[in-house]
Chain A
């Protein structure tokens, strides 16, 4: 190309005399702009519904403003809280015994919080770490304006727990506008009075256990869908099109049915007075007394989720298997391979992109599954998403929910990266 442009006759021009290069650039810029406008709605959609919420999630997970600032809903302004006490924390080292100045600053902060009606928010924030402190804050704030020095005695008079070093440690932790403490809590860690990171009591540790269980069950469910889905996909791919299309309807039919309907159908089938148990009892396989508990536990979660996620495995497998030429396997057989060897060495490697895509899809969906384990999981079939929902809806500790969700997100991204390194993301065929 450059030879042409540099020819001594001068530049190549279009019919109306413009230099070709400029005309081409002009025409392409126009096309590019048009293409950009075409994808603009999708781009905006992704930014608004996906990127911004994830950004907010990450911000929320480190947001520590409960003790720091208050958004006045009447004026819309932001009011700083506990200013003097935060000043005292800045000047002293962690674990310092609170002196009269600290108590005076606290009383001042309490009176101010009472005035601005922000005391509930302050109490709730500290209550996350020191159980029972919420009412200490509200009742002390009610009387704070009337307290007289010495403030230490005055406060201890209201509640002697004000001298608790753990409480002061919690207030110190809360005095910074951002924190990683919610991530610590999400990993069953907390801070002691001196600010060191320690494990929480064994009887309160639950998140790591559930993270592990979520990954383990998701992996198991992915494997089960593979085990069940591979033969189905193979059958669909090798049957004549008319028959396979009919069978495909059976794969898609549950896919089109509401998730809730499918989950509750499993309850009807599997519960101890349910269809499956009834049949076994009537056939004499089980005693009426010893009906199997197949739901409201881990078994229920595994069965129902495997069924619900099965199409996500079958469809990518099918789309990869369909174009595989049967003559490869025939060639292998004619060269003396056993049917197992031909399958293992010739057929199977060609389906890897489908296995990868299906596996990744099922696994990632399973990791974040919420409604099915909530309905059929009982106590042992709960996943981490159920606790995220708990903190969103019941305890209203959104920062902890955001931290748990972020950890889940990082975990999935990590697995995605591992997959890319081991198998290669180019080897993925979704359909």
Chain B
């Protein structure tokens, strides 16, 4: 018994030294996590021989703070939202990333110009553009909702609505529904009247709202008939509609675009491999590959042309991207600076509004 133990220990020890390079990625799980495993992790492991481990979290920004403060960092790369990337970077919880090391586009355009504006920051490299949209179940809605105002119109389209239990995105959508042009939403939300107006609009449907928290919930709520319309992450709706043949339709009016970015927590155990991983997965081809698995737009302009078909081999991905021309007519780009500043106040007010 003891002998076997020594033997296995020796063997595992050997196995570890043989595969010295390893890297742990923390992401959001679900269809999104899968798309990253397929498009980034597997090819990276194949090419470099590194062992890539994927860990899921509700929001990877939270473990980063906990791990760095405790001085016990176990993850090397995390996928976070924009305002979290900015805030964590400001608080010194992230390694700085030298963006000049990122590979150029195939045509030689330097990375700094190839990435969409705002996609590169001191500590973070964006991989995809995703968006919060609303979708409806075509079987339980009579007629065809076209605008954000329709989402808030209980008379024209009766039935329950699903909304994310957070201030972010809901306030913007409420103002758009109230007739505010997408470009003026954040200016208005800076003012007391704007916030009051947004909450007043939310009040009109408050009694008909079913709140969700995890990205996997809205497709479930729509499929169960628990709600007739719900705000959702566009990729999750796409996967349910195209991948699982659910009768869901996305309304792009008033969509809120946002980045997901790769960051490296301060003190990551495998810093070098982590940098290699980010370099590898945010190159033109890899970002385009991810679109094969989920309908999130690549953060590089040069990837756009390479986006092809969905994994079923027949659905053209381009029109399902939040960044597609036709979907951008009344789109809001999430203002990370606004949310990094106002999140505390607006969340407090939202929580109080919710509880009363």
Q: Do chains A and B stick together as partners?
A: yes
- Are A203 and B353 touching (Cβ within 8 A)? yes
Q: In chain B between 198 and 256, which residues have their CB closer than 8 angstroms to a CB of chain A?
A: 206, 209-211, 213, 224-226
Q: Once bound together, how far apart are the Cα atoms of A204 and B342, in whole Å?
A: 14
Q: Choose one: B89, B90, B166, B354; the contact of A382 (CB below 8 Å).
A: B354
Q: Choose one: B68, B206, B341, B349; the contact of A127 (CB below 8 Å).
A: B341
Q: Once bound together, how far apart are the Cα atoms of A118 and B341, in whole Å?
A: 17
Q: Once bound together, how far apart are the Cα atoms of A382 and B346, in whole Å?
A: 18
Chain B hits for A123, CB < 8 A:
90
- Within the complex, the shortest CB–CB distance from B337 to chain A, in Å, comes to 6
Q: Once bound together, how far apart are the Cα atoms of A397 and B353, in whole Å?
A: 20
Q: Once bound together, how far apart are the Cα atoms of A395 and B62, in whole Å?
A: 9
Q: Once bound together, how far apart are the Cα atoms of A123 and B62, in whole Å?
A: 19
Chain A hits for B51, CB < 8 A:
none
Closest chain A residue, CB of each to CB of B267: A73
Q: Once bound together, how far apart are the Cα atoms of A301 and B301, in whole Å?
A: 48
Q: Does A380 contact B (CB under 8 A)?
A: yes
What are the nearest 7 A-B pairs in CB distance? A120-B90, A131-B345, A206-B352, A120-B91, A273-B225, A379-B354, A117-B92
Chain A hits for B90, CB < 8 A:
119-121, 123-124, 134, 138
Q: In chain B between 299 and 348, which residues have their CB closer than 8 angstroms to a CB of chain A?
A: 337, 340-348
| Stretch in A231-239, A247-255, A385-393 touching the partner | A385-393
Interface centre among A138, A272, A382, A394 (most CB of B within 10 A): A394
Q: Once bound together, how far apart are the Cα atoms of A204 and B199, in whole Å?
A: 13
Q: Does A95 contact B (CB under 8 A)?
A: no
- Are A392 and B62 touching (Cβ within 8 A)? yes
Q: Does B19 contact A (CB under 8 A)?
A: no
Chain B hits for A370, CB < 8 A:
none
Q: Once bound together, how far apart are the Cα atoms of A138 and B348, in whole Å?
A: 23
- Are A393 and B89 touching (Cβ within 8 A)? no
Q: Once bound together, how far apart are the Cα atoms of A134 and B87, in whole Å?
A: 10
- Are A374 and B213 touching (Cβ within 8 A)? yes
Chain A hits for B266, CB < 8 A:
73
Q: Does A378 contact B (CB under 8 A)?
A: yes
- Within the complex, the shortest CB–CB distance from A159 to chain B, in Å, comes to 12
- Within the complex, the shortest CB–CB distance from A201 to chain B, in Å, comes to 8
Interface string of B58-79 (1 = CB under 8 A from A): 1101100100100000000000
Chain B hits for A58, CB < 8 A:
none
Interface string of A197-214 (1 = CB under 8 A from B): 000000111100110010
Given the known interface contacts A73-B92, A124-B87, the answer about A395 and B352 at a Cβ–Cβ threshold of 8 Å is: no
Chain B hits for A378, CB < 8 A:
210-211
- Are A131 and B352 touching (Cβ within 8 A)? no
Q: Once bound together, how far apart are the Cα atoms of A124 and B343, in whole Å?
A: 11
Q: Does B15 contact A (CB under 8 A)?
A: no
- Are B344 and A395 touching (Cβ within 8 A)? yes
Q: Does B101 contact A (CB under 8 A)?
A: no
- Within the complex, the shortest CB–CB distance from A216 to chain B, in Å, comes to 13
Q: Does A89 contact B (CB under 8 A)?
A: no
Q: Once bound together, how far apart are the Cα atoms of A428 and B352, in whole Å?
A: 39
- Are A396 and B65 touching (Cβ within 8 A)? yes
Closest chain A residue, CB of each to CB of B84: A396
Q: Choose one: B91, B206, B226, B341; the contact of A131 (CB below 8 Å).
A: B341
- Within the complex, the shortest CB–CB distance from A16 to chain B, in Å, comes to 42
Q: Does A88 contact B (CB under 8 A)?
A: no
Given the known interface contacts A73-B266, A120-B90, the answer about A127 and B351 at a Cβ–Cβ threshold of 8 Å is: no
- Are B351 and A397 touching (Cβ within 8 A)? no
Q: Does B160 contact A (CB under 8 A)?
A: yes
Chain B hits for A273, CB < 8 A:
224-226
Q: Once bound together, how far apart are the Cα atoms of A243 and B343, in whole Å?
A: 58
- Within the complex, the shortest CB–CB distance from B92 to chain A, in Å, comes to 5
Q: Once bound together, how far apart are the Cα atoms of A128 and B347, in whole Å?
A: 11
Q: Once bound together, how far apart are the Cα atoms of A394 and B84, in whole Å?
A: 10
Q: How large is the interface on B (under 10, 10 to 19, 20 to 34, 35 or more residues)?
A: 35 or more
Q: Does A296 contact B (CB under 8 A)?
A: yes
Chain A hits for B4, CB < 8 A:
none
Secondary structure at chain B's binding surface: helix, strand, loop or mixed?
Answer: helix
Q: Does A132 contact B (CB under 8 A)?
A: yes
Q: In chain A between 253 and 270, which residues have their CB closer than 8 angstroms to a CB of chain B?
A: none
Given known contacts A73-B267, A119-B90, A124-B87, what 6 new A-B pairs fall within 8 Å (CB)? A131-B344, A273-B225, A374-B213, A379-B211, A380-B355, A390-B351
- Are A205 and B68 touching (Cβ within 8 A)? no
Interface centre among A134, A272, A380 (most CB of B within 10 A): A134
Chain B hits for A213, CB < 8 A:
355
- Within the complex, the shortest CB–CB distance from B230 to chain A, in Å, comes to 13
Q: Once bound together, how far apart are the Cα atoms of A273 and B222, in whole Å?
A: 11
- Are B341 and A121 touching (Cβ within 8 A)? no
Interface centre among B160, B165, B211, B341 (most CB of A within 10 A): B341
Instruction: Provide 13 A-B residue pairs closer than 8 Å at the C-beta atoms, listed in order of the A residue.
Output: A120-B89, A131-B346, A204-B345, A204-B348, A206-B351, A206-B352, A272-B226, A273-B224, A273-B226, A379-B355, A390-B347, A392-B62, A396-B61
Q: Does B356 contact A (CB under 8 A)?
A: yes
Q: Once bound together, how far apart are the Cα atoms of A204 and B192, in whole Å?
A: 13
Q: Once bound together, how far apart are the Cα atoms of A396 and B353, in whole Å?
A: 20
- Are B349 and A393 touching (Cβ within 8 A)? no
Q: In chain A between 389 and 417, which residues have their CB closer than 8 angstroms to a CB of chain B?
A: 390, 392-397
Q: Does A11 contact B (CB under 8 A)?
A: no
Closest chain A residue, CB of each to CB of B165: A379
- Are B59 and A393 touching (Cβ within 8 A)? yes
Q: Once bound together, how far apart are the Cα atoms of A121 and B68, in whole Å?
A: 14
Given the known interface contacts A120-B90, A124-B90, A135-B337, the answer about A393 and B355 at a Cβ–Cβ threshold of 8 Å is: no
Chain B hits for A133, CB < 8 A:
341
- Are B226 and A394 touching (Cβ within 8 A)? no
- Are B344 and A397 touching (Cβ within 8 A)? yes
- Are B345 and A387 touching (Cβ within 8 A)? no
Closest chain A residue, CB of each to CB of B225: A273
- Are A121 and B347 touching (Cβ within 8 A)? no
Q: Once bound together, how far apart are the Cα atoms of A210 and B356, in whole Å?
A: 9
- Within the complex, the shortest CB–CB distance from A127 to chain B, in Å, comes to 6
Closest chain B residue, CB of each to CB of A188: B352
Chain A hits for B353, CB < 8 A:
203
Chain B hits for A140, CB < 8 A:
none
Interface string of A269-298 (1 = CB under 8 A from B): 001110000000000000000000000100
Interface string of A111-154 (1 = CB under 8 A from B): 00000011111011001100111110010000000000000000
- Within the complex, the shortest CB–CB distance from B84 to chain A, in Å, comes to 9
- Are A118 and B92 touching (Cβ within 8 A)? yes
Chain B hits for A135, CB < 8 A:
337, 340-341
Chain B hits for A387, CB < 8 A:
351
Interface centre among B166, B206, B346, B347 (most CB of A within 10 A): B347
- Are A271 and B224 touching (Cβ within 8 A)? yes
Closest chain A residue, CB of each to CB of B356: A209
- Within the complex, the shortest CB–CB distance from A26 to chain B, in Å, comes to 38
Q: Once bound together, how far apart are the Cα atoms of A211 and B352, in whole Å?
A: 13
